[in-house]
Amino acid sequence: SAVISQKPSRDICQRGTSLTIQCQVDSQVTMMFWYRQQPGQSLTLIATANQGSEATYESGFVIDKFPISRPNLTFSTLTVSNMSPEDSSIYLCSALEPHQETQYFGPGTRLLVL
């Protein structure tokens, strides 16, 4: 199975600032995804990170707030822009391996916005 790492593992940020989260996979994957998990809640899909093209966002999420890059088949970034305390969550990256049809998850980035 793919091994996924995220940086940073946690951060405390001031409102109005932006944070970029990195996701690195140890093998080439077909699809990468970004999820948000608010305190005490389940995971919510933010977007699908498409290699070489713009990300596909789910309802309620927009590119201006959560810009995503995916420059190659093993790496993606999610930026949380103009943060407010409501953005305090765990942000999780996941990836789907070619021909495996099983999605694997990174350890998450715990963000606290003050």
Partner 1 sequence: DAKTTQPPSMDCAEGRAANLPCNHSTISGNEYVYWYRQIHSQGPQYIIHGLKNNETNEMASLIITEDRKSSTLILPHATLRDTAVYYCIVRPYSSNTGKLIFGQGTTLQVKP
Residues that bind partner 1 (CB under 8 A): 1, 4, 30-31, 33, 35, 42-45, 48, 92, 94, 96, 98-99, 101-108
Q: By C-beta, is 16 or 107 nearer to partner 1?
A: 107
How far is 99 from 14, CA to CA, in rounded Å?
Answer: 42
Task: List the one residue out of 101, 94, 103 whose CA is nearest residue 33.
Answer: 94
The distance of closest approach from Cβ of residue 41 to partner 1 in the complex, given in angstroms and rounded to an integer, is 8
Nearer to partner 1, 17 or 62 (CB): 62
CB of 5 to partner 1, least distance (A): 11
Secondary structure (DSSP) of 13-30: E-TT--EEEEEEESS--S
Q: Are 113 and 65 in contact (CB under 8 A)?
A: no
Selection from 65, 68, 84 nearest residue 76 by Cα: 68
**Measured from the CB atom, is 33 or 66 closer to partner 1?**
33
Q: How far is the CB of 84 from partner 1 (least distance, A)?
A: 23
